[in-house]
Amino acid sequence: SGGPPPPDWKTDSADLIARYQKHALLGENTLAERYFQQAVGATGGAGRVAETARLWLVRCATRRAMLIDDACAEYAELAAVAPDAADQAYYRFLTLRWEGLDVARLPDQHRDLVRAPAGNRHEVLSRINDPLARLLDASLLVMRQEADAATLALATETASEQGWRQPLLTYLKLQHQRAAAHGNAAEQARLARRIQLVEQSLLPTPK
């Protein structure tokens, strides 16, 4: 046998944080927030500081993947009490402090991005299999002002393939701004239509 089953707080928090991510990416923010608070309640109820800090780190990563400027302050406050080296490395990665970062402590899918020269980082994105990791890395490149048109296109299509309305809308608007800046009317019109479809899908359905 594989030993005793994991305690309820652990399985509950893992399930709830996954639900938080799903609904946040769909733009269902009220539902997402409810699941997140329940996840924090599960780890907090067990008095687990490091695990609660990790939930805040996952939340921060999810928000930054959607190009929301989250400083991970709640994670940092808890982590000061119960530091974890891998979580600290991920925190530094998320908050763009890559110089001197211990890359070996990062999740596998993010290591190549940090190791690559700044001018080549966008090429690494297409090799990342996990869609949320790919979207996060693209968003961090945008925040570092290292993203090109191909980066925006890849992030847009990653969000589109997954049906992640919240980041999709953000990236479509970024592409629309870029098309406007280049005077590309046909591309503006195409993107405006996609933006309209996503915005309509985010409207509450009539009861």
pLDDT digits (tens, 9 = 90+) for 133-147: 999 999 999 999 999
205 vs 183: CA distance, rounded Å: 36
pLDDT single digits (tens) 52-97: 999 999 999 999 999 999 999 999 999 999 999 999 999 999 999 9
Q: Which of 79, 108, 81 is nearest to 95 (CA)?
A: 79
pLDDT at 15 over 60: yes
61 vs 95: CA distance, rounded Å: 9
pLDDT at 205 over 90: no
How many other CB atoms sit within 10 Å of the CB of residue 12? Answer: 18
pLDDT single digits (tens) 17-37: 999 999 999 999 999 999 999
Place of tokens 């309640």: 41
Instruction: Report yes or no: 169 and 202 within 8 Å, Cβ to Cβ.
Output: yes
Q: Which amino acid is at 136?
A: L
Coil, strand or helix at 157: helix
Predicted TM-score (pTM) of the model is 0.95
Residue 7: DSSP 8-state:
P
The reported pLDDT for the residue numbered 3 is: 86
Question: What percent of the chain is predicted at pLDDT more than 90?
Answer: 94
The reported pLDDT for the residue numbered 17 is: 99
The reported pLDDT for the residue numbered 1 is: 55
pLDDT average, residue stretch 5-11: 94
The reported pLDDT for the residue numbered 55 is: 98
| Token output for 193 | 């239509």
165 vs 191: CA distance, rounded Å: 14
pLDDT average, residue stretch 151-178: 98
Per-residue pLDDT band at 190 (split at 50, 70, 90): very high
The reported pLDDT for the residue numbered 119 is: 86
In the chain, how many H helices and how many E strands? Answer: 11, 0
